[in-house]
Structure 1
C-alpha cells in the first residue's frame, strides 16, 4: 500500500508541534503535484481542493515528540509499526498518509490538514477558510471499532506562584522519577497510568524536603514520564520509583514556600473525575502535565477534558479554588467546546462501510479533542462529520504502536466512501 510509503516519508521530516514548517512545505508540494488548488494560512493549516468535492478529508500533521523524536527509526515487526526509543507520530501521520493516497486517486476531493493540534487544537481553532464540502471525515481516531460522532471539550489551566528564597548551607540531593509508561492524557487517562510529578511530590513531602528547583512533564496532553527536583533534605535514599543522588553539602537557595507547593500538588486529584457507566465513557478528567520554574516563579500546567461544556467549567472552578488555597494564581487558555454526538446521515453511511469490514463497529464518542468538533461548532452545526482511524496503542509515548492490518482496513473504508460520494 502507498499509505505506508507516504507515512515513511512523513517520518523522515521533523514535525514536532511548533516545528512543522518543513513538513508543511512537503505537503503543499505534494498537493500541487496532484493538481490541487492549495491555500495555507498564518496558523499553518493546509486547505486543498480539486474538482467538485462532496467530502473533506481532515487530519493534523504535527506530532507529540517523546524520547528520541523527531529522529524516528521505524520498526516493522509485521504486525505493528513503532519507533525505536520514541513516539511514532502515527497520531496523526497515518491519517495524513491515508489522505495522501486518496489525493493520488480521486479527482473530486477536499482536504484540510491542520497544524499544532497536539498543543490545543490551534490550527482548527484558527482556521478561517470556507469548506466547500458539507461532510467532514476526520482521520484522527485510534480505534477501528469506532465511528466517532462526539468528543470532549478541553482547557489548559496554568497555576503560578511567585517564589521567595532562603539561603542556607545544607545537604543537597538530586531526586528523579524517570522512564515511566506515559500515555495520552485523554484516551488513556482511565488506565491510572502513574504520573511522575505526583510520585515525586509525594516522596519529597513525606521526607520533609525543601525545594531548590522542581520540573517535570513533557507535553500538556501527555501523562508525565519524567520529573526532577533538587532539594535540601536529610538521609534521603532511593526506592523502586525514585532515584536519589547526593550532591553533598552546599550553599543553596531553598524555596520558602516549598511546603505549600508540594501540598498543592499532593492535594490535586489526578485522572478521572466522573464516568458514565451506561455508555462506557469518561465524562470528566484532568491531567497534571508540566511543571516549570524560573528564578522568580513556578508554574504548573494542567489539561482538563469534559464531555460537556458544563463539566469543563466545573473542572476550572475546582482547580481555581484548590490553587487559591495554596496561594497560586490561575489563568485559562486554549479552550474548546464539546462536540455533542449527533447521528447524521453521513455518519450512518460511514458506519455502514465500516461494518462491511468490521462487524463490531459502532457509533461512539471519545474523551479527547477532535478537530472536526471545533469545525462543527464554529460552523454552527451546518456540517456533518465523524471520525475514524486505525488501532493505535499508547500514543504520545515511547510505547506507541500502530496496527498494520487496521491501517489497511481504514484505508479501504475511506476509499469506498469517496467512491460512493464521487
Structure 2
C-alpha cells in the first residue's frame, strides 16, 4: 500500500482500495476479484452468495437495536474500463494498478485508475469489516461487467435480498445525489467488404491525444471522436490524392469517446509529396477548428513500405466511408424537462476494418425509451441500406425519477447536517445499474452518489482522497441514522 495513502487512510477504505487495485479486473475478467470478495466474506464468517455471473452478495446482519431498521443495500460493480496511453506497456489481463499519489489525488501510471467503481467496493468492504459501526442489515452487492452492458446486474437473482433501500456508489461528484439515469443499448453495424490488390507505398495516418472521456458523462463537452475525425480526413484526402484503404481502427470501448485512431492506406509513390502536403493542410485546418476543445490534437504520418497490398474494393470503401461520415454521433437531443441534461446521444466507440467486414460499435443512450429505439432504428436502416447488418446487445432501461423517496429525504437531511448546505438533486445521462434494481424489486427506493473523481475511462482518471474520506463519513452517518 502506498505509504502516503496509509497515513491518510480512514476505516481501511484505502487499504481495501489498494487490495482491489492490485487485482486485474477489466470487464470480462471477473474471476479473481469475485473470488477475492467471496474469500473476504468467508474469512469473517459472513453470509455470501456467488452466482454464475460471478456477482457476489455479502450480508451482515443488523447491530443490536437495529433489527427492525430498514435493510440497506450498498452496491457497486467490480469491473473497470481498461484504457492506457500509447506509450504504456501495462497488461490489464495480468497486472494490477499501481496507485500513485499527487497532493490530494490518487491516479495510475498512464492507465485508467479503476476508482470507477473500485471505490464502491472499498467502501462496502470497510463497512462490512467495521465492528464499531451501528447499522441495520447490510446487503453489499458487487456486480460484474457493468462497463460492457451491465450483464451482472441483468443476471442477478434478487430473490434473497430483503432491502428496499439501495445506495449505489457509482457516481463521481461529491455534493450530488443522483435520482434518475438514462437507458441505453450497445448497437453494432457490420458491413461486408471485398478487397483488391493494389501496388504502391503503404503509409500510416495517426490521430492522437484527443481528450476522450465517458460517452455518457462527457458526451456534452464537445470532445471530438477520433474515429469520426479520421473518417472526415479520409473523405477530404480524396480531393488531393487517390489511395486505397488497407486498414483502419479507432477506439477500444463502446462507452468511451475514442482518443486515437489510425488508417493505413496505399498511395502511388509519385504522389508522396502531394500526400504530405495534403496532410499538412488538413492538420492545420483541424487544429485551428479544434484549438479550444482539443488543444493537444496530433496528426502524424509514417511511411511504411512499398509492395502489393489488399485494399478495400472501391465500392466497399465508398460504403464504409459513407457510414463513417454520415452516421449520427454525439448529442442528439437535450432534455426539455431538466436544463442542461442530455436526453439522447450515441457514441461510435469502436471501429475496425477486418479482412472481410468493417465493424462499427455504438453506445446509444436516452432517458426516453422510444427515442433510444429510434436511434437504433436509424443505425439499422443505414447499415441495411449499405448491405450490412445491425444487432443490439446489452440493452438496459432508464431509471425513472421517483417523486416520493424516504431514502432521498434521509440522505438530504444528513447531508445538510454534515456539510452545512444542500446537495444537488440530479439526473444523469449515463446509464446506471440502478435501472435493473428498479425494474426487479417492487417499490425499491434508490439514490446514487460518490466522491469526486475526474476523467474516468481515460488514463487521466483521478480520485480525490479528501472527498473519498468525507463521503465515507457521510455514509456512516446515513447508515447509523436508519434506526
Quickly name the TM-score band, shorter chain normalised: over 0.9
Which residue is equivalent to 2:78?
A: 61
**1:376 and 2:438 matched:** yes
Contact 1:87 1:397 in 2 (8 A): yes
Contact 1:69 1:86 in 2 (8 A): no
Query: How much does 1:69 deviate?
Result: 6.2
Which residue is equivalent to 1:293?
A: 353
Which residue is equivalent to 2:330?
A: 271
**1:17 and 2:27 matched:** yes
**1:102 and 2:127 matched:** yes
Mind listing any 5+ residue stretches in structure 2 that lack a counterpart? 1-9, 63-69, 85-89, 284-297
Paired with 1:275 and 1:155, the residues of 2 have a C-alpha distance of 18
The one of 307, 317, 332 aligned to 1:250 = 307
Which residue is equivalent to 2:425?
A: 363
Paired with 2:232 and 2:435, the residues of 1 have a C-alpha distance of 37
Query: How much does 1:82 deviate?
Result: 1.0
SS of 2:220's partner is helix
Contact 1:177 1:243 in 2 (8 A): yes
**1:219 and 2:278 matched:** no
Task: Point out the more displaced range, 240-249 or 94-103.
Answer: 240-249
Task: Point out the more displaced range, 316-325 or 216-225.
Answer: 316-325
Contact 2:158 2:440 in 1 (8 A): no
**1:302 and 2:312 matched:** no
Contact 1:69 1:87 in 2 (8 A): no
Which residue is equivalent to 2:140?
A: 111
Which one has the largest radius of gyration? 2
Which residue is equivalent to 1:328?
A: 388
Paired with 1:421 and 1:181, the residues of 2 have a C-alpha distance of 42
Paired with 1:324 and 1:406, the residues of 2 have a C-alpha distance of 49
Alpha-carbon deviations, 1:332-375, whole Å to 9, x = none? 11101111111411111112222333424122111111112211
**1:352 and 2:445 matched:** no
Alpha-carbon deviations, 1:273-314, whole Å to 9, x = none? 111264321100100010133322221100000012122112
Paired with 1:366 and 1:142, the residues of 2 have a C-alpha distance of 11
Which residue is equivalent to 1:50?
A: 60
Alpha-carbon deviations, 1:2-25, whole Å to 9, x = none? 111111111111111111211111
Paired with 2:39 and 2:379, the residues of 1 have a C-alpha distance of 45
SS of 1:190's partner is coil
Query: How much does 1:33 deviate?
Result: 2.4
CA RMSD, Structure 1 to Structure 2 (Å): 1.7
The one of 129, 152, 162 aligned to 2:158 = 129
Query: How much does 1:47 deviate?
Result: 1.0
The one of 2, 10, 15 aligned to 1:5 = 15
Paired with 2:43 and 2:219, the residues of 1 have a C-alpha distance of 41
Normalising by structure 1, report the TM-score: 0.95
Paired with 2:372 and 2:360, the residues of 1 have a C-alpha distance of 18
Alpha-carbon deviations, 1:148-195, whole Å to 9, x = none? 111110100100011111112122211222332221110011112121
Paired positions, count = 421
**Structure 2 vs 1, CA of residues 176 and 293 (structure 1 numbering), >3 Å: closer, same or farther?**
same
Paired with 1:82 and 1:192, the residues of 2 have a C-alpha distance of 25
Paired with 2:222 and 2:327, the residues of 1 have a C-alpha distance of 15
Normalising by structure 2, report the TM-score: 0.84
Paired with 1:69 and 1:5, the residues of 2 have a C-alpha distance of 23
Task: Point out the more displaced range, 317-326 or 221-230.
Answer: 317-326
Paired with 1:162 and 1:260, the residues of 2 have a C-alpha distance of 10
Paired with 2:202 and 2:422, the residues of 1 have a C-alpha distance of 57
Paired with 2:219 and 2:418, the residues of 1 have a C-alpha distance of 29
Paired with 2:326 and 2:480, the residues of 1 have a C-alpha distance of 54
Query: How much does 1:50 deviate?
Result: 2.0
Paired with 2:176 and 2:367, the residues of 1 have a C-alpha distance of 17
SS of 1:324's partner is helix
Query: How much does 1:262 deviate?
Result: 1.2
**1:416 and 2:477 matched:** yes
1:313-324 equivalent positions in 2, closer than 5 A: 313-324=373-384
Mind listing any 5+ residue stretches in structure 1 that lack a counterpart? none
Contact 1:35 1:50 in 2 (8 A): no
Paired with 2:424 and 2:212, the residues of 1 have a C-alpha distance of 28
**1:74 and 2:108 matched:** no
**Structure 2 vs 1, CA of residues 400 and 360 (structure 1 numbering), >3 Å: closer, same or farther?**
farther
Paired with 1:69 and 1:54, the residues of 2 have a C-alpha distance of 40
